[in-house]
């Protein structure tokens, strides 16, 4: 790494020095639903599949999730710490850019028209490769993790998600990765009159083959997570469906409202049956056309058991 690159990395680090790296949940709130206001608008959340236990405390463990910053765009890798089955803290680190050939980019290649480099959803595969979707897109942008002296992620490939018909125009709004497959599940929508739940098998060459899954969803329903043999969703503020968290099983072929009156644009279920929901605050109704800071809400497992 050249002296100039080292100086640039040092400058970038200083620009974020006043941002918090860990959120601690007050003791009186442990085990309750807690909302964390965010300094950005999140557009989705996924589990990385990484869970590990505390070295000396058998009742404590860590889990890792990804949260996408829509406008930056950037990806937050958040580490959750649980003790005695209760979430106690969230620590975070950020992926704010990548190498793309000789250029440095904000996770996506620049486009001639500009203005549409926004992050929608992302996931990590079993090799810790990052896949992120740009707004109004049917592409996965593949980034490989830093190696050796290279401290930056590298944008290496654009993967097309094949449409079901030549005249279809649905964008990917939510995504999840099934490590057993490897299979990805998507919510695809034009946010006007069509939203579909679909899945694809990923080949060794990263090509995607559609499966038979093609289920109609309400407009502005997001997710998506796989947990306990079910898929999980959450309604946005603009959805006409009854607000809340929903589950779905292919055998039932019907959505089930599990927790009412929850809004969001992403959901992930955790090891102990609790969940995290991201909320894009700008879509919340309010004065002057609405809009609030984004947020991350922890929902304890007890609320799913009622």
pLDDT tens, position by position, for the chain (306 residues)?
A: 555 555 555 554 444 444 556 788 877 788 889 999 999 999 999 999 999 999 999 999 999 999 999 999 999 999 999 999 999 999 999 999 999 888 888 898 876 555 568 999 999 999 999 999 999 899 999 999 998 877 899 999 999 999 988 888 999 999 999 988 899 999 999 999 999 999 999 999 999 999 999 999 999 999 899 988 899 999 999 999 999 999 999 887 789 999 999 999 999 999 999 999 999 998 888 777 678 889 999 999 999 986
CA distance 282 to 290: 7
Which residue in 171, 146, 174, 144 sits closest to 157, CA to CA?
144
Q: In what order do the strands lie in the sheet with 86-95?
A: 22-24, 86-95, 74-83, 60-69, 42-53
Token pair for 55: 């070295």
| Confidence at residue 102, expressed as pLDDT on a 0 to 100 scale | 83
pTM (2 decimals)?
Answer: 0.89
What pLDDT was estimated at residue 113? 59
pLDDT tens-digit profile of 162-215? 998 888 899 999 999 998 889 999 999 999 999 999 999 999 999 999 999 999
Residue 186, SS3 per DSSP: strand
Q: Kindly report, residue by residue over 132-153, the tens digit of the pLDDT.
A: 999 989 999 999 999 887 789 9
At 11, give phi and psi (nearest 5°): -65, -40
User: Which domains, and CATH codes, for the chain?
Assistant: 35-304 (2.120.10)
Taking the chain, what is the end-to-end CA distance rounded to the nearest angstrom? 55
Would you say 202 and 181 are in contact if contact means Cβ atoms under 8 Å apart? yes
> What is the per-residue pLDDT for 13?
47
Q: Facing residues of 82 across strands? A: 61, 87
Alpha-carbon distance of 39 to 229, in angstroms, equals: 34
DSSP designation for 219: T
Beta bridge partners of 76: 67, 94
């Amino acid at each position: 790494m050249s002296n100039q690159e080292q100086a640039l990395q040092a400058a970038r680090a200083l620009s974020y020095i006043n941002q918090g790296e860990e959120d601690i949940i007050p003791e009186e709130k442990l085990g309750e639903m807690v909302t964390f206001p965010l300094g950005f608008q999140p557009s989705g959340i996924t589990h990385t599949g990484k869970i590990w236990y505390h070295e000396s405390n058998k009742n404590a463990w860590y889990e890792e999730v990804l949260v996408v910053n829509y406008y930056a765009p950037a990806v937050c890798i958040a580490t959750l710490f649980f003790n005695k089955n209760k979430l106690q803290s969230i620590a975070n680190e950020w992926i704010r850019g990548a190498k793309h050939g000789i250029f440095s980019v904000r996770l996506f290649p620049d486009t001639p028209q500009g203005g549409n480099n926004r992050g929608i959803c992302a996931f990590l595969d079993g090799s810790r490769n990052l896949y992120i979707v740009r707004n109004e897109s049917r592409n996965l942008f593949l980034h490989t993790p830093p190696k050796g002296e290279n401290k930056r992620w590298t944008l290496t490939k654009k993967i097309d998600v094949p449409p079901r018909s030549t005249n279809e125009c649905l964008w990917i709004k939510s995504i999840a990765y099934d490590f057993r497959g490897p299979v990805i599940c998507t919510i695809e929508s034009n946010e006007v009159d069509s939203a579909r739940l679909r899945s694809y098998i990923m080949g060794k060459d990263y090509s995607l083959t559609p499966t038979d899954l093609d289920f109609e969803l309400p407009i502005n329903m997001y997710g998506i997570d796989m947990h306990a043999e079910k898929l999980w969703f959450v309604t946005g503020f603009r959805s006409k469906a009854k607000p809340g968290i929903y589950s779905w099983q292919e055998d039932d072929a019907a959505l089930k409202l599990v927790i009412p009156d929850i809004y969001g644009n992403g959901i992930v279920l955790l090891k102990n049956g609790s969940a995290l929901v991201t909320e894009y605050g700008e879509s919340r109704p309010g004065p002057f056309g609405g809009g609030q800071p984004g947020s991350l809400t922890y929902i304890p497992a007890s609320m799913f058991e009622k």
